[in-house]
Amino acid sequence: MRFNALRQAAIVAAMGVCGSAGLAQQAAPPPRLPPRWRTQLDLGLTDTRGNSRLTSLSVGEKLEFRPGRWLVTQTLSWVVGRNDSVETANHLKASLRGDYAIRPRLKVFGLAAFERNTFAGLSRRFEESVGLAWSALAGPRSQFDIEAGAGLNQQRAGRSETFAISRLASRFRHHFTAAAYVEQKAELLSSLDNLDDERVNAETALVAPLARTVSLRLSYQVAFDNVPVPGKKRTDTVFASGIQVVF
């Protein structure tokens, strides 16, 4: 009798443990989905070095839309400066990109971009590219993405040119908290007509929250052109500090 009582007590205890584990599993909240719409605005002061050397104003905007498996992203950034009514910096960049998730970590993308940097001798540049993006690391605190693709470049920088390009890019982000993070982005663009004609764009950014939707943002950008316009420098750098608003 004593043995049967002990056995029944053990069975009841085991059922209680299993039931508690099941309730705990059911109570676990589902993963938080990103918002369908997201807007980011940046405003700051910049220290520009290279083909222009000054402290100026920068503005930026980023809009994201997530319909189903798609992610549509539109960006705009502008660095402008004047000194005694004379323009001393004018760098405009805009892009439109569409990503389609064919697997949880694999996406196909299409990208169209425009750039103008008069002080680097670039009157205009249009680039269109397609490729694949792979999330090599997709943890709750750290993400690392790799991209590879190809496309076309149409530009006027002293002379008009059209040529095919290859594109390699990466992005690493580490979150210290939900709203505070450090991010590193890099991009290599190579002409398929002239192997010496390579461009590298890189940016390091640190974002720290000040309020629910407002953060302090520090960034350092490097733009390297291995074959610049004659008389222009190969490297431009921009250090920016300002406010970022997300809603």
128 shares its domain with 175: yes
β-bridge mates for residue 168, sequence order: 148, 188
The predicted structure's pLDDT at residue 126: 98
For the chain, the domain total comes to 2
- Which CATH number belongs to the domain containing residue 69 in this structure? 2.40.160.40
Q: Could you give the CA distance from residue 88 to residue 155 in angstroms, rounded to a whole number?
A: 22
β-bridge mates for residue 105, sequence order: none
8 shares its domain with 96: no
19 shares its domain with 59: no
Q: Which position has the higher pLDDT, 211 or 33?
A: 211
44 shares its domain with 114: yes
125 shares its domain with 73: yes
Q: Convert the pLDDT of each residue in 165-212 to its tens digit.
A: 999 999 999 999 999 999 999 999 999 999 999 999 999 999 999 999
The residue whose two tokens read 């210290």 is: 176
Q: Is 163:191 a contact under the CB 8 Å cutoff?
A: yes
Q: Is 112:122 a contact under the CB 8 Å cutoff?
A: no
Q: Is 237:50 a contact under the CB 8 Å cutoff?
A: yes
Helices (H) and strands (E) in the chain — how many of each?
1, 12
Q: How far is CA 146 from CA 75, 101, 102, 141, in A?
A: 20, 14, 15, 17
pTM of the model: 0.83
Mean pLDDT score across all residues of the chain:
87
241 shares its domain with 124: yes
Query: Which residues constitute the domain of residue 231?
Result: 36-246
Task: Provide the 10 A C-beta neighbour count for residue 235.
Answer: 13
Q: Could you give the CA distance from residue 90 to residue 26 in angstroms, rounded to a whole number?
A: 56
The predicted structure's pLDDT at residue 30: 53
Q: Angle at the Cα of 131 (from 142 to 64), degrees rounded to 5?
A: 55
5 shares its domain with 117: no
6 shares its domain with 46: no
| The residue type at 82 | R
Task: Provide the 10 A C-beta neighbour count for residue 14.
Answer: 10
Position 27 pLDDT exceeds 60: no
110 shares its domain with 147: yes
What number of CA atoms fall less than 13 Å from residue 114's CA on the CB side? 10
Tell me the percentage of the chain whose pLDDT exceeds 70.
84
Q: Is 84 left (phi over 0), alpha (psi -120 to 50) or beta?
A: left
Q: Which two tokens stand for residue 121?
A: 């001798």
The predicted structure's pLDDT at residue 53: 75
**DSSP state, 213?**
S
Confidence of residue 237 (pLDDT cuts 50, 70, 90): very high
